[in-house]
Amino acid sequence: MKSWKFCFLALSLIFLLTVVSPIANGQIFKAGYVRGQISTGDGTWSPQNFSWFYYDLDEGLGSESLSVDVEDRRAEKSHIIYRSDVFSSEF
């Protein structure tokens, strides 16, 4: 019976440390926002309209793209195409 009480106490302590402690310290996490276009069907995304793709503002370099061809609200595996070209850039 003692091991059950100890296990319950340990789990309660872990819960308090992980959930209550950040709130008490004022660390409130907000949801992130990703800039990009909304699609209700077929679409193509690139660095110019989807901010998670890499784009070098100084050099104007960005080659990633994602194309989705939708039929009846479904995209078959062969209708989702991700493309990225390699380019060299000195740092």
Question: Cα–Cα–Cα angle for 24, 29, 31, nearest 5°?
Answer: 155
Determine the pLDDT at residue 81.
93
In this structure, are 43 and 74 located in the same domain?
Answer: yes
Could you tell me which residues are beta bridge partners of residue 82?
66
Domain range spanning residue 72?
32-91
Structure pTM? 0.55
Number of domains in the chain: 2
Q: Are residues 52 and 80 in the same domain?
A: yes
Q: What is the pLDDT of residues 18-49, one digit of tens each?
A: 666 555 556 666 666 667 777 778 888 888 88
Strand partners, 61: 56
Residue 56 corresponds to which amino acid?
D
* CA distance from start to end of the chain: 63
